[in-house]
Amino acid sequence: MILARCLPLIWLSLLTVCAGRTLHPLPGKGPKSVNLQLQTSRPYNIAHRGSNGEIPEETTAAYLKAIEEGTDFIETDILSSKDGVLICFHDCILDETTDVASHKEFADRKRTYDVQGFNITGFFTFDFTLKELKQLRTKQRYTFRDQQYNGIYPIITFEEFIAIARDAPRVVGIYPEIKNPVLMNQHVKWPGGKRFEDKVVETLKKYGYGGSYLSKKWLKKPLFIQSFAPTSLVYISNLTDSPKVLLIDDVTMPTQDTNQTYAEITSDAYFDYIKQYVVGIGPWKDTIVPVNNNYMLAPTDLVKRAHAHNLQVHPYTYRNEHEYLHFNFSQDPYKEYDYWINKIGVDGLFTDFTGSLHNFQEWTSPLPDTSKSPRQLLGQIASLVLPYAKA
């Protein structure tokens, strides 16, 4: 009789336990013995240079914030110092996102170089040793974002970036970009005639990264290697079986290494070729859906064709601010995520606001609880039901 009275409560408790879960414990607050696996059942949340909508890009704090907010992958751009140390930094010049201009001791380092056909003047990363770069402090790129963290965080190395992912309380993937490889190989020389690409792959292997997409080895340490330079991705395909992603710029722009336009390398013929080396493409989102006067036009068939060639599509970059939200979305970033995930059907999204994307996905496509064993679930149910059974 008591059991019959408790059956509805048991059913209700099952629903309650299954619905209530802690998917992403905060760093240092989750159980040390549990390392939650990477989710692979919904589009990847890719923290573009960390959670840089809140904290200066490519810093330890920005990456820790992204992990706290639930990202699947932390993304970074790899460049080199003068002494050949790989660093995490987006621009080939330091001017926009560091305080280099305030360091009088470096005033004579300003140079002009040819970068992809343009004369660029500034303080280039490869004209500074790592020790000198570590004296600089980062700042927020955009003036309309929070400025309170300017002047606090240093530039980090690629190895320091990897340590952030390895020390996370759950499995967090990394998504490094081989940035400006032509420029790096022109200005930085490594022993033994090694190339910039060699050093990137060597560093990844040093920390146990490798394995084809979704293999057991890959799932333990998830990794995508990205680049705008197709020849770099072809080159490293002989060095690692890790999955690679070809980045796509505006279709009118030429590549830095093959002098093809991105219109050419998004053709079906090129997809047939490049799919031997990459698992996906990372297009600028306006290449997928053209924009006129801040209104989105009809989508191209780029995603459909990429999927037909078994290529994933990870567009960039999603930002919350009205400066970047097209009028179609009524200044609502959740409407933008809904459009790209559910209408366009992308497989991953590079976002400056990892928390917003994570919240949207948790509301619309929550993941099952994998942090508790069946015994723990039954124990939780018993604790909910037992008081009623005794009554």
Longest CA–CA span in the chain (Å) reads 88
Q: List the helix and strand counts (H, then E) for the chain.
A: 14, 13
In sequence order, the 6+-apart residues with CB closer than 8 A to the CB of 270 are 264
Q: Could you write out the DSSP letters of every residue in 226-274?
A: EES-HHHHHHHTTT--S-EEEEE--TTSBPTTT--BTTGGGSHHHHHHH
Q: Dump pLDDT digits (tens) for 143-181.
A: 999 999 999 999 999 999 999 999 999 999 999 999 999
In sequence order, the 6+-apart residues with CB closer than 8 A to the CB of 207 are 159, 162, 166, 221
Residues 215-222: what's their mean pLDDT? 98
* pLDDT greater than 90 at residue 8: no
Q: Dump pLDDT digits (tens) for 369-391.
A: 655 554 554 554 445 444 444 44
Q: Is 250 left (phi over 0), alpha (psi -120 to 50) or beta?
A: beta
pTM for the predicted model, two decimal places: 0.87
Residue positions counted in the chain: 391
Q: Which of 180, 166, 169, 153 is nearest to 52 (CA)?
A: 153
Give 225's pLDDT tier (boundaries 50, 70, 90).
Answer: very high
Alpha helices in the chain (DSSP H): 2-19, 60-69, 130-133, 158-166, 181-187, 196-206, 216-220, 230-236, 268-274, 285-288, 302-308, 333-338, 354-364, 374-390
Q: Dump pLDDT digits (tens) for 103-114.
A: 999 999 999 999
pLDDT at 389 (0 to 100):
45
Backbone angles phi, psi at 383, to 5 degrees: -65, -30
Gap between the terminal Cα atoms of the chain: 12
- Distances from the Cα of 136 to the Cα of 49, 79, 99, 122, 220, angstroms: 18, 16, 6, 15, 34
Compute the distance between CA of residue 326 and CA of residue 5 in angstroms, rounded to an integer: 55
Using an 8 Å Cβ cutoff, are 155 and 93 in contact? no
Provide the 10 A C-beta neighbour count for residue 104: 7
Q: Dump pLDDT digits (tens) for 335-360.
A: 999 999 999 999 999 999 999 999 99
pLDDT at 57 (0 to 100):
98
pLDDT at 375 (0 to 100):
55
Compute the distance between CA of residue 116 and CA of residue 99 in angstroms, rounded to an integer: 25
Compute the distance between CA of residue 235 and CA of residue 188 in angstroms, rounded to an integer: 18
